Amino acid sequence: MSKRNHYIAVTALVIVTSFILYFILRMIYTLPIAASAEARPIDQMFTGHFIAIAFLFSLIMVFMLYSAVVFRRRPGDEEDGPHIHSNTTLEIMWTIIPTFVVVGFGVWGTITLNGLVSAKDNEMVVKVTGQQWSWSFEYPEQEGLTSPKLVLPVDRTIVLQMESKDVLHSFWVPEFRVKQDLVPGRTTTLRITPTKLGDYKLRCAEICGLSHANMMADVQVVTTAGFNSWVEERLQAPVYADMTPEERGAIWYSAPPGGQYAACSGCHSIDGSVMAGPTWQGIYGHEVQLTDGTAVTADDEYIRNSILNPNAQIVAGFQPNIMPQNFGDTFAAIEAEIQASEGIQIDMIADIIAYMQTLQE
Ligand code: CUA
């Protein structure tokens, strides 16, 4: 085969393997859907890197394997190989071209990063707080409302001003592509312009202790109208921090937040009438007859125990296994939500006990 034909064969092989490798890389490293304006330049850089990786790998491997196979020593060939000293043109080329490619990627990266961090028109600030192991969000432009989930209007640049209460965390929603650390003692910034409506998950991307893997929050991208009505709804939502324990207890009794939890009022009256469970009227501090013949005083400990372990002390005249036995978990979930959105620690059972004390005959 002539020298020219070897070159043609190698060129063709390099082109074919580059394509195959590029598609394999694309298949292995599938990216989640791109849901922000920032995702586009980043995905373009991914494509650029995949092309460069596929081409360079093919170039080196094809040249090497082609030479090893085609120019291998034949049986009976005892000659020395030709002595090649150097090739100045080739050496200059393989120094200059990779230098330009690497510097080129660096410049491309710098320009992209600059575009991502620069201020945009009509920005909206959201404050993000990370702590072991939860996220909370504050909207200073929406009367400072707070939320345990991040709700964002579509097609508007959001400036996240992020702070950590304890250790390093990292804000990462893969669909938005961009990522930024939260550093204790300083405020870091991240800009996101959501472009696709939908539900996403915020994950902490910096190992931050035992529950790092569970440090997640819901992210919702909604229409501008949807965002405004969410703000309206959040602003009208009760602020538990401003209530007395008695007031909160009355809410837990009749309508716990979220709507998915059982209300005490389904089984316990407050006017003395008998329902599936004992009435709460006049119960606090009074003697209660149990099915086992003993009597106890309905004090804080008895009430707490009756909520957490409802089958432990059944009041005479009532049946066991009627009351759900998971109120401990239910209350913990509600308390965590209030902690995340209002930053206060609430003891729902203490609230209920306070409320019961107001229900004397
Ligand atoms: Cu916070 Cu990992």
CA-CA distance, 245 to 265, in Å (whole number)?
17
Helix or strand or coil: residue 115? helix
End-to-end CA distance of the chain: 108
Q: Does CATH place domain 241-357 in 1.10.760.10?
A: yes
CA-CA distance, 115 to 328, in Å (whole number)?
49
**Which ligand 1 atom sits nearest the alpha carbon of residue 209?**
2
What's the CA-to-centroid distance between 333 and ligand 1, angstroms?
Answer: 20
pTM of this structure: 0.64
pLDDT tens string, the chain, 361 residues long: the values are 788 999 999 999 999 999 999 999 999 988 899 999 999 999 999 999 999 999 999 999 999 999 999 988 888 888 888 888 889 999 999 899 989 999 999 999 999 999 999 988 889 999 999 988 889 899 999 888 888 889 999 999 999 999 999 999 999 999 999 999 999 999 999 999 999 999 999 999 999 988 899 889 899 999 999 999 999 888 877 778 878 898 889 888 887 776 667 788 888 988 888 888 899 998 998 998 998 888 999 999 999 999 999 998 999 989 888 888 888 888 888 888 888 777 788 899 999 999 999 888 7
Nearest CA to ligand 1 atom 1: 169
Cis? peptide before 230, omega within 30° of 0: no
Residue 222 phi, psi dihedral angles, 5° rounding: -125, 170
Whether the Cβ atoms of residue 171 and residue 201 lie closer than 8 Å to each other:
no
What's the CA-to-centroid distance between 168 and ligand 1, angstroms?
Answer: 7
Q: Map out the domains of the chain as residue ranges.
A: 3-69+88-117, 124-236, 241-357
CA-CA distance, 47 to 41, in Å (whole number)?
10
**Which ligand 1 atom sits nearest the alpha carbon of residue 208?**
2
Judge residue 208's burial from the number of C-beta atoms within 10 Å of its C-beta, 0-12 exposed, 13-18 middle, 19 or more buried: buried
**Which ligand 1 atom sits nearest the alpha carbon of residue 167?**
1
The residues lining ligand 1, judged by C-beta closer than 6 Å to any ligand atom, are 130, 133, 169, 204, 206-208, 212, 215
Whether the Cβ atoms of residue 187 and residue 151 lie closer than 8 Å to each other:
no
CATH code assigned to 124-236: 2.60.40.420
What's the CA-to-centroid distance between 166 and ligand 1, angstroms?
Answer: 10
**Which ligand 1 atom sits nearest the alpha carbon of residue 182?**
1
What's the CA-to-centroid distance between 134 and ligand 1, angstroms?
Answer: 8
What's the CA-to-centroid distance between 268 and ligand 1, angstroms?
Answer: 42
**Which ligand 1 atom sits nearest the alpha carbon of residue 133?**
1
**Which ligand 1 atom sits nearest the alpha carbon of residue 168?**
1
How, if at all, do strands 150-153 and 179-182 pair? unpaired
What's the CA-to-centroid distance between 37 and ligand 1, angstroms?
Answer: 25
Helix extents (H) in the chain: 3-28, 39-70, 88-117, 224-236, 245-254, 300-308, 327-342, 348-357
DSSP β-bridge partners for residue 253: none
- Which of 127, 132, 131 is CA-nearest to residue 150? 127
What's the CA-to-centroid distance between 216 and ligand 1, angstroms?
Answer: 9
